[in-house]
Every structure is written in C-alpha cells, then in structure tokens.
C-alpha cells in the first residue's frame, strides 16, 4: 500500500521561508522528511528550519552556483536528494502591457524562469545519477489562463508548465518524476500586496477586486490556504503519486 510518508527522504524547498514554501516545508517535515529550507534571507528561513528540525541554506536561485551549493550541502549531510520543490519566485510588475516597467518584467523572468531552470538543471543531474526522485514545479492558475495586468508572471508560469512536460520526458527513463502545481490565489501578505498594487493601477477598491476576481469566482467561495497547496505537494512528492509525471494539477477552490 502506498502512503504519503516521506520518512528517510531529503527534500529541498526553495523560497521556503514564507507562504506556500513555508507550509510545504512544515508539511514535509511532519511526513518524516529531512527538509532543506532554501531562500535569499537567512533571517526568514532559519526560524522555519529550526522549528521543523531542518537545514537553512541561503540561496539566490538566479545564481547557478548558489543552487549547486544547496544540492551539494544537502547531499553531503543526508546522502541524497529525493524531492525538489521549485517554489522560489516573485509576483512581477502589475500594470498594462503598454506601459509596464520593463526592468521589473525582466527581473521577474530572471527569478521565476531562469531561477527555476537552474534548479531543474541541477536536480536532473543529481536525481538522474540516483535513478530516482520527484520534482515539483510551482506554476500557477495564471500558468493556465492569462490574467490582465500580470503579463510577466503569466509568461513565467506558462513556461514552467512547458518545462515540466519537457523535462518529465527527458528524465522519466531515469526514474525521476516531474510535475507542476497550479495554485489559485492564496490568502496572505503576498496577495495583499498584489491586490493593493492592482487597486492602485485600476482605480478600484481592494474589496471589489477580491470579491469579483477571487472569492466569488471560486466554486467553494473562499480563498485557498497555503496548507492546502502543501498537502497537494506532499501527494506529488510521495509514493502515492508514483505513476504521475508530466502533469499540471490545479489547486484553486474551483475557480473556472
């Protein structure tokens, strides 16, 4: 019988200090995993690692050397790397395409796309040599449907789904699975900032944007929680999903 246990396995969670990343790190640790919490700020990731008995490693995913160092440290301390959650990212600029900040647009691509590629590159080598592993790319509902004022973010998250399918075919013969999660809007500080910027750009009250675009448009009529995304990530990381690869799974409270 397959289970959701990660006992004895090592998982790297990038962007693991806040929001979805933090919830995944906590959920994986509760399932028995040795968790490496990676992120740019030690001040953010160290409390999470300390609370779950994990390891905190500073990492800017836009720097390939940083990513290689995270995998090397994880392998040295635990012997192998079984799971990667490719979660580090940013929201990108909020604004119409006609006058969007191009520097911010490029910065979003650098973090969300090249950062994810760096992690995939190293994970493919490490897990391929091990002949096994599970990679979970954090895409988004906006990787499935375009969204106004968010072109940079949509571009990166659409690309991640294509990369998921391509890399799943590449390294599937080595026993490595690659899947994507596509969360809807998750309640928390990150969405508060996005909504505030959108309210300013569109000249609408935040409450109206939340009701029209997030809660009322969901079949369950509510926000998604980070813990619900983490539970889906645990499924993809564990043997419960042993025959699933190259898939993109929505977790969005039924937003159509």
What is the CATH number for 200? 3.40.50.720
Residue 247 covered by a domain: yes
Q: How close are the terminal C-alpha atoms of the chain, in Å?
A: 34
pLDDT digits (tens, 9 = 90+) for 149-170: 999 999 999 999 999 999 999 9
Residue 29 covered by a domain: yes
**Beta strand pairing status for 83-86 and 133-138?**
parallel
Contact by Cβ (8 Å): 49, 35: yes
Residue 4 covered by a domain: no
Structure tokens at 26: 């906590």
pLDDT of residue 3: 84
Mean pLDDT over each residue of the chain, to the nearest integer: 94
pTM value is 0.92
Mean pLDDT throughout 28-36?
98
Sheet holding 10-14, edge to edge: 55-58, 34-39, 10-14, 83-86, 133-138, 176-183, 248-251
Quickly state the pLDDT bin for 131 (edges 50, 70, 90).
very high
> Is 153 a residue of the active site?
yes
Q: Per DSSP, what are the bridge partners of residue 133?
A: 176
Closest CA to 141 of 252, 224, 42: 252
**Positive or negative torsion for Cα 57, 189, 219, 96:** negative
Residue 148 covered by a domain: yes
From the list 153, 156, 163, 167, the catalytic residue is 153
Q: Which residue has the tokens 């599970």?
A: 134
Mean pLDDT throughout 194-201?
84
Residue 144 covered by a domain: yes
Mean pLDDT throughout 52-65?
98
Quickly state the pLDDT bin for 1 (edges 50, 70, 90).
low
Three-state DSSP class for 63?
coil
Residue 256 covered by a domain: no
Residue 89 covered by a domain: yes
Residue 222 covered by a domain: yes
Structure tokens at 148: 């106004």
Structure tokens at 251: 């977790």
Count how many domains the chain has.
Answer: 1
Domain holding 106, by residue range, is 10-251
Query: Of all residues in the chain, what percent carry a pLDDT higher than 70?
Result: 99
Contact by Cβ (8 Å): 246, 254: no
């Amino acid at each position: 019988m397959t289970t959701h246990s990660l006992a004895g396995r090592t998982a790297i969670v990038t962007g693991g200090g806040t929001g979805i990343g933090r919830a995944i790190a906590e959920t994986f640790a509760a399932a028995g995993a040795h968790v490496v919490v990676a992120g740019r700020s030690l001040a953010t990731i160290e409390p999470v690692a300390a609370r779950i008995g994990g390891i905190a490693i500073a990492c800017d995913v836009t720097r390939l050397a940083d990513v290689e160092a995270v995998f090397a440290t994880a392998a040295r301390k635990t012997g192998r790397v079984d799971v990667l959650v490719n979660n580090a990212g940013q929201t990108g600029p909020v604004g119409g395409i006609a006058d969007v900040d191009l520097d911010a647009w490029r910065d979003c691509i650098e973090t969300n796309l090249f950062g994810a590629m760096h992690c995939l590159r190293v994970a493919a080598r490490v897990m391929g040599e091990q002949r096994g592993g599970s990679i979970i790319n954090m895409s988004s509902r906006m990787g499935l449907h375009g969204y106004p004022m968010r072109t940079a973010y949509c571009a990166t998250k659409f690309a991640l789904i294509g990369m998921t399918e391509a890399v799943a075919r590449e390294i599937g013969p080595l026993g490595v699975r690659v899947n994507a999660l596509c969360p809807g809007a998750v309640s928390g500080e990150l969405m508060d900032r996005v909504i505030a910027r959108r309210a300013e750009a569109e000249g609408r009250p935040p409450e109206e944007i939340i009701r029209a675009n997030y809660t009322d448009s969901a079949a369950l009529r509510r926000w998604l929680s980070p813990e619900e995304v983490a539970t889906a990530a645990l499924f993809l990381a564990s043997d419960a999903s042993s025959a699933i690869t190259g898939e993109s799974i929505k977790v969005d409270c039924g937003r159509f």
